[in-house]
Structure 1
Amino acid sequence: MKEKLYTIPVNDAFREDCECPLCSIYHKLEQDALEYTLRPSTYMVSERREESDKVGFCKRHAAMLNEMPDRLGLALIYKTHMDSFIKEIEQKQKEPVKQASFFKKKTEASGLAAYIGQLEKSCFVCEKIEKTFHDYLGTIFHLYKKEEEFRKLFASSKGFCTKHYGMLYEMAPERLGGALLDSFISELNQLYLENMKRVRDDLSWFVDKFDYRFKDEPWKNSKDALPRTLTKVNGL
């Protein structure tokens, strides 16, 4: 299989001994995006700072940034982000409050609630991840269509977390057709269920091992069943 720059991360993820190759891809992109955010060459450039000032960060990525060593960089980013949204909210507060209609019981501030709602949903790190991640999803279908070796790699994987299984299932009809689509969906469904059940059974034995009747029995593959379950179910 001849690899190109954009196919290497996908092939590497599917070669890993992991419960979801897409989670592996996502977490690598996430780490790159966090490091990019707190890189001086990013936050000291006004044009790039304006991007993060506008959208801010979700709770997850704010917490992860807070665990990173560049405290001054994070403080500078948040200072100008606060300048940005304080100014915007001051302007929104001057707008008249819309009265509730006969059919709507609650009132809402004109533009203010919508702005705060959007601010809560947006994240500089998430936005940086998502586009590249979506491109890698497309690469999976491209490789599945063109490369027999990748199809074998796909079939030998340990399946996917529920979220990424759903994403692949939804995208498949847009990227594949005919017998290839049928083959992909069949393999995808089988990989998901067989491996979800495998991890479920490992977790079940992990629980049983806390019963005194099984304390002298071997752990089998259950010692790390809980973190693998969290990957399968929640993508953690």
Structure 2
Amino acid sequence: MKEKLYTIPVNDAFDSDCECPICIMRKTLENNAVEFTMGPSYMDDDVRAETDKTGFCNYHLGKLYENNNRLGLALMLKTHMDKTIKDLESLSAKKGKGPSLFKKSSEVTPVKEYTDTLKNSCYICNKIENMFSLYIVTFYYLYENDSAFRDKFKASKGLCTEHYGLLFQSADKHLSAEKAENFREELNKVYFDNMKRVREDLEWFIDKFDYRYVNEPWKNSKDALPRAMIKTNSAFEADK
């Protein structure tokens, strides 16, 4: 099948030698989102309006700081703080019913509602999720229409547990009932075979700490621990 622009990132992820191509797809999106945010776009009015409104989660704020565009980050945080101060001054000044807005009230105050919303919002997360959903659609499109990609998927090193669950759950949304059932059978084989492969490598890694095996070869177990962390917690794959 001839590659189209939107299929390239998905194919590239499954071409990579990794324990979870879906993790690679997400990490690529994250890197692109950070670079975009810290590039010239931070001066764009539309981008700044959105970052002023949503802010950033702790994790991605750290990633933006690591980018070393300290002036750009300072400007974004300054105008975000301006909006936060303005909004919360207005909300906190609102009068409640009765002698006290807060006394004996089980209702969530507008201030708390605002701060909770802000706590759970992130400009980078939003950019990642919007594109990631399109990548998942593309994954199923390739699986259904490209036999070479289907073979590539079946020959892959599998997925992390989180993304195994994602594909298992979303199959019905993108495939017919019969095709979804067949896909899940293939998905199960890819996932469980490779989970067991890494689990066996991890077991040998543990055995190598036993004096009885000290002179035995490491086989494929030297990097078993980080690979197991990828499989169980989606960790590290993105940072390789």
* TM-score, structure 2 as length reference: 0.91
One-letter amino acid matched to 1:33 = A
Q: Which moved more, 1:197-206 or 1:21-30?
A: 197-206
1:124 aligns with 2:162: no
Q: Separation in 2 of the partners of 1:100 and 1:175?
A: 49
Q: Aligned runs of 1:1-236 on 2, under 5 Å?
A: 1-39=1-39, 41-95=40-94, 96=96, 97-98=101-102, 100=104, 107-236=106-235
Q: What is the match of residue 104 of structure 1?
A: none
Question: For residues 108 and 68 of structure 1, what CA distance do their matches in structure 2 show?
Answer: 41
Larger RCO (CA under 8 A, 6+ residues apart): 2
Find the aligned partners of 1:206 and 1:77 in 2 and give their Cα distance.
46
- In the TM superposition, what is the alpha-carbon distance from 1:66 to its structure 2 partner? 1.4
| Counterpart secondary structure, 1:25 | helix
Alpha carbons 1:58, 1:120 under 8 Å: kept: yes
What is the CA–CA distance in structure 1 between the aligned matches of 2:93 and 2:109, rounded to whole Å? 9
Gaps of 5+ in 1: 102-106
Kindly provide the amino acid, as one letter, of the partner of residue 166 in structure 2: M
Deviation at 1:98, TM superposition (A): 4.9
How far apart are residue 199 of structure 1 and its match?
A: 1.1
Rounded to whole Å, the distance in 1 between the matches of 2:15 and 2:44 is: 38
One-letter amino acid matched to 1:6:
Y
- Name the aligned partner's letter for residue 60 of structure 2: H
2-side partners of 1:167 and 1:100: how far apart? 43
Identity score, percent: 50
Residue type at the aligned position of 1:223: K
Distance 1:149 1:43, change over 3 A: same
Q: What do the CA deviations read for 1:52-83 (whole angstroms, capped 9, x no partner)? A: 11001111101111111111111111111111
**Greater CA deviation, 187-196 or 128-137?**
187-196
Structure 1 length-normalised TM: 0.93
Q: Could you tell me how far apart the structure 1 residues matched to 2:189 and 2:47 are? A: 44
How far apart, in 2, do the equivalents of 1:113 and 1:69 lie?
33
Taking only aligned residues, the RMSD between alpha carbons, in angstroms, comes to 1.4
- Report if aligned partners of 1:22, 1:164 keep a CA contact under 8 Å in 2: yes
The separation in 1 between residues aligned to 2:129 and 2:108, in whole angstroms, is 31
Amino acid at match of 2:140: F
Q: What is the total number of aligned residue pairs between the two structures?
A: 230
Q: Which is further off, 174-183 or 148-157? A: 174-183
23-32 or 108-117: bigger deviation: 108-117
Secondary structure of 2:157 counterpart: coil
Q: For residues 199-231 of structure 1, give each alpha carbon's deviation from its aligned partner in whole angstroms, at most 9, with x where no partner exists.
A: 122112112212222221111111111111121
Q: Which runs of 5 or more structure 2 residues have no equivalent in the other structure?
A: 236-240
- Which has the higher mean CA deviation after the structures are superposed, 107-116 or 17-26? 107-116
